Amino acid sequence: MYKLIKMIRLIRVLKIVKQRSQLLKYLNDFLKIGLGFDRLFFFAIIFLILCHILTCIWVIGAQFTVAGEEISWISDFDMNNPSEIYVTSLYYTVTTMTTVGYGDINGTNTLERVISIMIMLIGVSAFSFATGSLSSILSNYDQANAKL
């Protein structure tokens, strides 16, 4: 229950979305980058936060099943160190979200498979958004250079 409360507190990190304009203005003044790159940089930050949150959900889901009778992905790897569990879970989350998916780590029970489906859907959505944003940035950059 304590970990669930910590997970809910993590949502407060998303307050950065509310202060996006102030952050982007400071970043633009400091680095002198264009508006399109502002969007891409902000998306990269959100992607890293999202990876962390989904990594925590993946670990918490495995710990709920370890306490019960079912096995989990953690029991397949014989890991005891929390940092090793986190890094392995982050590896799984990133490979799943970027649609690489090596297949060396997978959900072994129903809860983990549901979490995997959620990670896949979020990953495909984020990947599509990033591709569209990058395409828009390059298109605007080409138009600006053509006018010069």
CATH number, position 109:
1.10.287.70
Q: Name the residue range of residue 57's domain.
A: 2-7+34-147
Beta carbons within 10 angstroms of residue 144's beta carbon? 11
Looking at per-residue pLDDT, the higher value among 113 and 40 belongs to 113
Beta carbons within 10 angstroms of residue 30's beta carbon? 8
Smallest CA-to-CA distance from 111 within 63, 79, 75 is with 63
Q: What is the pLDDT of residue 82?
A: 85
Do residues 27 and 38 lie in contact, with contact meaning Cβ atoms separated by under 8 Å? yes
Number of structural domains (the chain) is: 1
Whether residue 24 is contained in a domain is answered as: no
Looking at per-residue pLDDT, the higher value among 35 and 64 belongs to 64
Whether residue 15 is contained in a domain is answered as: no
- Average pLDDT, rounded, for the chain: 78
Whether residue 78 is contained in a domain is answered as: yes
pLDDT at 121 over 70: yes
For residue range 70-92, list pLDDT tens digits in order. 788 887 777 778 888 999 999 99
Structure tokens at 33: 């980058």
Q: In the structure, what pLDDT confidence band is assigned to residue 146 with cuts at 50, 70 and 90? A: low
pLDDT at 35 over 70: no
* Average pLDDT over every residue of 121-145: 80
C-alpha 80: how far from chain center: 24
Whether residue 22 is contained in a domain is answered as: no
Q: How far apart are CA 91 and CA 81, in angstroms?
A: 15
pLDDT at 28 over 70: no
Q: What is the pLDDT of residue 92?
A: 93
Whether residue 39 is contained in a domain is answered as: yes
Whether residue 29 is contained in a domain is answered as: no
Whether residue 73 is contained in a domain is answered as: yes
Smallest CA-to-CA distance from 48 within 94, 100, 116 is with 94
